[in-house]
Structure 1
Amino acid sequence: MPLDFSAFTRVESSMAEFNVSKRHSHSLFIFSIILRKILYRKPKELMGSFNSAPKINNVDSQDDGLELPKGLSTDALLDHVRQLHGSGVVKPSLLSRCFLKPPLNSDDVTDGLRCLQLNSVSRVCSAPSDGAQHIRLLQWNILSQTLGQHNDGFVRCPDEALTWQHRRYLIVQEILQNQPDVVCLQEVDHFKFLQTVLGSQNYDGIFFPKPDSPCLYIEENNGPDGCAIFYKRDKLQLLGYDTRILEVWRVQSNQVAIAARLQLKASGREFCVCTTHLKARHGALLAKLRNEQGRDLIRFVKQFAGESPLLLCGDFNAEPIEPIYATILSCDLFKLGSAYADIKLEREREREREDQEQHTASCDDPNELIAQSIKREPPYTTWKIREDGEECHTIDYVFYTPQQLKIKNCLEFPAGEQIGKNRTPCFEYPSDHFSLVCDFELLDAPLSEDKSKPHGTIQ
């Protein structure tokens, strides 16, 4: 892509930590080029030709022949896609997962650990609450088809399991069987397919591609990958949305974010949801770049959401010990919590009450709160084997404003023996990341919303 030379002067004010003097314009020029090379990832086979690799500007057209029967219920559609996925051949079922319930009221006679039955949509096990203030959110990096099949090097995954014909209906099944109100996705490069299938179940969607998607440098691409938000239009009204290309030291990166303001039709209550996908790869410099992207993300969300209840989720490509995690949780603008960590804390407190032990004292020290949250995050949200080895760690999160939203339930992750020795993606699961599914309740006394904030524009 052509370099934006006006960006060099914008970087200048942030260069003190790199010991680059304003007088050394040549050093500034070189640094900006290096920064852009780091921020804009190309497929591995093109790494040596950053400036010369040709783009292949395909459009999202590989699913244009898709036809679905009209008027299918969710149950009927799931049966239909399972038949299409099988094509007359018996194939392994999607991985089974369970919901972990928080402390139950005395009049609730159901078990606290409920299994999600994947052969049908179970109203008992998987359906979200019908309460007017309840929201179920699904967060998932679904794995770009172009990158997953032609670039990412999943050496233990059978070739057939990586084909779009195999993966696309498993993706639909994973989403619809959980019946989310809001769906936040990353690495979406078949948006039209999802728009068609999810649209048949009353979902509308927003898509924002990466400005220089690595997919566009692979011949078999279906257009750029990016982030998407879908929402259940029979329950939620879209009031507005905004998009952003995240910046690092005032230079645009190749990572994006979408923020949407939604209103519950039954109660009129509003909330905001934002999703993003931060820079990948390991290393101290990359961790610093992710942290800068996170800081820019917070500024963007604050401007859009104001004081509204907020759900902030995505693939942050950072383990909890990285600076970006503390940056998000220590932000005074929102005072965010991590859904999966907080629900584990709820379970611990419930056990203490059952055992009549002394209740864990609340802590006001921000650093200690972050340290405790880190300990309670799940052991992994992605588990894969690539050419350079096995990766099993937590890099996907659902953050929320606990003063305005209460976490009620979370979908657990499958155990290692369920996943299998070849890990993911595989025949039983279509992505190298697991979906995160969370139930929230809007609290009765939320902070006052800033009605003067613009809602963005509906395009």
Structure 2
Amino acid sequence: MGGGATRLYGTLTQTLGSSPLPLPPSHQPADTNLDPDFCQGSSGCPPDRVELLRQCKEALSDRPSRFHRTFVHLSDGDSAPSSPIRVMQWNILAQALGEGLDSFVQCPLEALSWARRKYLILEEVLTYRPHILCLQEVDHYYDTFQPVLAGLGYSSNFCPKPWSPCLDVEGNNGPDGCALFFDQSRFELLDNMSLRLSAMRIPTNQVAVVTMLRCRSTGRYVCVAVTHLKARSGWEWLRSAQGSDLLRQLQTLVQKHGSGPADDPTADIPLLICGDFNAVPNEEVYRRFTASPLGLESAYKKLSQDGLTEPEYTTWKIRPTGECCTTLDYIWYSQDSLRVDAVLDMPTEEQIGPNRLPSFSYPSDHLSLVCDFHFKEKE
């Protein structure tokens, strides 16, 4: 390593060497209760989808209109399947960071309040109704997302960061982390795990949630991962190392479970890897995923005319340091086993508006990515 990388490595070792391990996914803080806004009557149960949409509409009655986003349907001559698998990837912006550390200078404080944002976030999820939902910067898992989405038929797993910057914000709701939800009517849970990503065998502060699922309608297996890599310029080498560690662990997992004959549902288990990589498309970690022996492709390249180019942006915000408009978020998939049927397009600059994100009409500085997939027929 060069001198700069050596200093960074030393800093990493000192900073993370004594960090606590992530909380077990089953751990729920003792003082956490369901958000009272989402309780129904004396039962204390979360609302169903119809009631939840009604609550969102009522709570957001004074907000500007939502972005109008449409699905771009892809066709290579085959008819689209009747029941695609819908996957949603989204960094929802941790509440403590939005109000405390991220300094969105053009966003009114009222638009950053949890009282408003929670409805915007849930409305976005309910609008697209994904079968698989991958979220980053989740700091209201136990009191909001887990109980509310469980009431809608989702099972989930959550892994907090070992050290979350949310904890430095007064009045925080606990650490942020990654969460993976799946529709139990569509998938059966086979296995799940939480990973603390490493760099050069040193545990880092970034995590991933990995879930092995079986599709109830086809019997096919799919391995889904959600992650959030290290942010900021100067840490490109760390993101690359974290990405390599995740790829290595996923390859070991699918090889372990996918060693059966061709007609076995565990053979050639496809991967879906969603995340905020904090990396632009010309960064090393992106190239590592593209060149991986796992045969991965980025779904949102399908929006481009040549099928080779990522969108211009998945995040667009204004901070004291200036305006940031770039692509950091991805849905990677196994192109030999899965096919992309549709991709949700990006809002235009005009729709986003001059003050950028977040805003009264949108709760995060990152845009949600939504894709429809189906399993390719085995040869």
Q: TM-score if structure 2 supplies the norm length?
A: 0.86
| Residues 84-99 of structure 1: pairs in structure 2 closer than 5 A | 84-86=59-61, 90-99=62-71
3-state secondary structure, aligned to 1:400: strand
Q: Distance in 2 between matches of 1:37 and 1:152?
A: 25
1:80 to 55, 60, 83: 55
**Aligned residues, how many?**
351
- Which segments of 5 or more consecutive residues in structure 2 lack a partner in the other structure? 18-28, 256-267
* 2:75 corresponds to 1:103: yes
Give the aligned partner of residue 174 of structure 1: 124
Give the aligned partner of residue 313 of structure 1: 274
Report the alpha carbon displacement of residue 62 of structure 1 after superposing the two structures with TM: 7.3
Report the alpha carbon displacement of residue 38 of structure 1 after superposing the two structures with TM: 7.4
Report the alpha carbon displacement of residue 80 of structure 1 after superposing the two structures with TM: 2.2
* 2:114 corresponds to 1:164: yes
3-state secondary structure, aligned to 2:36: coil
Deviations 1:336-361 (A, max 9, x none): 111011x246x65xxxxxxxxxxxxx
Give the aligned CA root-mean-square deviation in angstroms. Answer: 2.5
Checking the alignment, whether the CA contact within 8 Å between 2:46 and 2:148 is kept in structure 1 is: no
Q: Distance in 1 between matches of 2:66 and 2:95?
A: 18
Deviations 1:22-79 (A, max 9, x none): xxxxx98x76541246779xxxxxxxxxxxxxxxxx8773754343446965344212
Give the aligned partner of residue 152 of structure 1: 102
Report the alpha carbon displacement of residue 200 of structure 1 after superposing the two structures with TM: 1.8
Give the aligned partner of residue 288 of structure 2: 327
* 2:297 corresponds to 1:337: yes
Deviations 1:259-308 (A, max 9, x none): 1001111221111110100000013xx11111011111101111223341
- When residues 107 and 395 of structure 1 are mapped into structure 2, their CA distance, relative to the original with a 3 A threshold, is closer
Which amino acid letter does the alignment assign opposite residue 59 of structure 2? Answer: L
Report the alpha carbon displacement of residue 437 of structure 1 after superposing the two structures with TM: 0.2
Give the aligned partner of residue 224 of structure 2: 273
Give the aligned partner of residue 289 of structure 1: 238
Which amino acid letter does the alignment assign opposite residue 67 of structure 1? Answer: F
Q: TM-score if structure 1 supplies the norm length?
A: 0.72
- When residues 152 and 245 of structure 1 are mapped into structure 2, their CA distance, relative to the original with a 3 A threshold, is same
| Residues 97-246 of structure 1: pairs in structure 2 closer than 5 A | 97-103=69-75, 130-131=82-83, 134-192=84-142, 193-246=144-197
Deviations 1:89-117 (A, max 9, x none): x2223222111111376989xxxxxxxxx
Structure (1 or 2) with the larger CA radius of gyration = 1
Q: Distance in 2 between matches of 1:438 and 1:232?
A: 15
2:32 to 53, 61, 65: 61
2:336 to 381, 400, 403: 403
Checking the alignment, whether the CA contact within 8 Å between 2:47 and 2:148 is kept in structure 1 is: no
Checking the alignment, whether the CA contact within 8 Å between 1:60 and 1:191 is kept in structure 2 is: no
Q: Distance in 2 between matches of 1:81 and 1:19?
A: 53
2:249 to 296, 300, 317: 300
3-state secondary structure, aligned to 1:177: helix
Q: Distance in 2 between matches of 1:99 and 1:157?
A: 28
- When residues 256 and 107 of structure 1 are mapped into structure 2, their CA distance, relative to the original with a 3 A threshold, is closer
3-state secondary structure, aligned to 1:208: strand
* 2:366 corresponds to 1:433: yes
Q: Distance in 1 between matches of 2:79 and 2:291?
A: 37
Deviations 1:160-187 (A, max 9, x none): 0001001001000111110100000000
Which amino acid letter does the alignment assign opposite residue 147 of structure 1? Answer: L
Checking the alignment, whether the CA contact within 8 Å between 1:273 and 1:312 is kept in structure 2 is: yes
Give the aligned partner of residue 364 of structure 1: none
Checking the alignment, whether the CA contact within 8 Å between 1:97 and 1:414 is kept in structure 2 is: yes
3-state secondary structure, aligned to 1:100: strand
Which amino acid letter does the alignment assign opposite residue 36 of structure 2? Answer: G
- When residues 104 and 420 of structure 1 are mapped into structure 2, their CA distance, relative to the original with a 3 A threshold, is same
- Which segments of 5 or more consecutive residues in structure 1 lack a partner in the other structure? 1-16, 21-26, 41-57, 109-128, 349-371, 447-459
- When residues 39 and 160 of structure 1 are mapped into structure 2, their CA distance, relative to the original with a 3 A threshold, is farther
Give the aligned partner of residue 21 of structure 2: none
Which amino acid letter does the alignment assign opposite residue 285 of structure 2? Answer: I
Q: Distance in 2 between matches of 1:188 and 1:31?
A: 27
Q: Distance in 2 between matches of 1:253 and 1:72?
A: 38
